C-alpha cells in the first residue's frame, strides 16, 4: 500500500507570520491525530461543509 504524503501549503502573503501559519496548522493537525489515537477518540474535521468525527490517521503523525 502506498504511503500517503501530506504536503504543506505555501502562503503567498508577505507577512512572516502568515508564511509560518500553514506549517503550524499542519503540526497542530498531526498532534491532534496523535492525541486522538492515544486517547481512543476521534478527530473532528470539516468535510464537504459538514463537521464530522473521523478516526485518527496514524500516517498523519508518523515521525513526530
| Domain membership flag for residue 46 | yes
Q: What is the pLDDT of residue 1?
A: 46
Q: What is the pLDDT of residue 5?
A: 62
pLDDT 10s per residue in the chain (64 long)? Answer: 455 566 666 777 788 888 888 889 889 999 999 999 999 999 999 999 999 999 999 887 776 5
| Domain membership flag for residue 26 | no
CA atoms within 13 A on the CB side of 37: 13
| Domain membership flag for residue 7 | no
| Domain membership flag for residue 22 | no
Q: Structurally, how many domains does the chain consist of?
A: 1
| Domain membership flag for residue 61 | yes
- Quote the domain boundaries for residue 58: 31-64
First vs last Cα of the chain: how many Å apart? 21
**Entry pTM:** 0.70
| Domain membership flag for residue 45 | yes
| Domain membership flag for residue 20 | no
Which residues, other chains included, contact 60 with Cβ-Cβ below 8 Å and sequence gap of 6+? 6, 29, 30, 33, 34
Amino acid at each position: 500500500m502506498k504511503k500517503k504524503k501530506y504536503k504543506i501549503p505555501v502562503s503567498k502573503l508577505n507577512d512572516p507570520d502568515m508564511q509560518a501559519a500553514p506549517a503550524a496548522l499542519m503540526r497542530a493537525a498531526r498532534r491532534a491525530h496523535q492525541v486522538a489515537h492515544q486517547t481512543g477518540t476521534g478527530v473532528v474535521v470539516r468535510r464537504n461543509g459538514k463537521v464530522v468525527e473521523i478516526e485518527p490517521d496514524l500516517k498523519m503523525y508518523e515521525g513526530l
